[in-house]
Structures are given as structure tokens and as C-alpha cells.
Amino acid sequence: MVHFYTSNVVSPPVTLYVGADKYENEELIKWGWPEDVWFHVDKLSSAHVYVRLQPGQTIDDIPGAVLEDCAQLVKANRDVSWMMLYQFGIGVKMHLKVF
């Protein structure tokens, strides 16, 4: 089952979609929209976190506080303390932006 969270760090709040394992991640990919931006740990098995952009928004329009919420959800759904050594991948469909 895909989990839903609300990020209240911005107004209006943003819904975040989380797949905690490979099956839930596949559901997110299967039903994802072109407006979905996904977050995961690069080169490791991890949760996928999606945020849906509003019409006309780009990945650069996502507020830093929402980016932090997404990264924290990825981290919280991965029980590896050294995960922060790896890059977080943020992608829009098949386009990847690494931080």
C-alpha cells in the first residue's frame, strides 16, 4: 500500500506519496503522472517519495523545505544510518537531477 503524507511547511500544503518497498515503488511508477518528481537514494534500495507539481511548475520551483521533507521521508524509510553518504536522486520521469 502506498502511503500519503502532507507537508505543511508551505501553504497550501503538499501531498507526498511514499512507496516503502520495491512493490510499492513499482505501483508509484506504474500510476505516476508526468508532473511527479520522485526522490530516492542513488544506487541503493530505498523508498521512493513523489511530489506532484502543479501545472506550470518545474523541479526548480519546489521549495527547499519541501525538498527536505522528501529527503527525510526517504531516509526514514531506509534503516541505514550511513545512507547520507550517498547522493539523493531526484527525477522527473526519466530525467535525473542528482544533488
pLDDT 10s digits, 52-79: 888 888 888 999 999 989 988 888 876 4
Q: What is the pTM of this model?
A: 0.74
pLDDT 10s digits, 36-49: 888 887 777 778 89
Coil, strand or helix: which one is 98?
Answer: strand
* Helix residue ranges, H only, the chain: 22-31, 64-76
Report the amino acid identity of residue 39: F
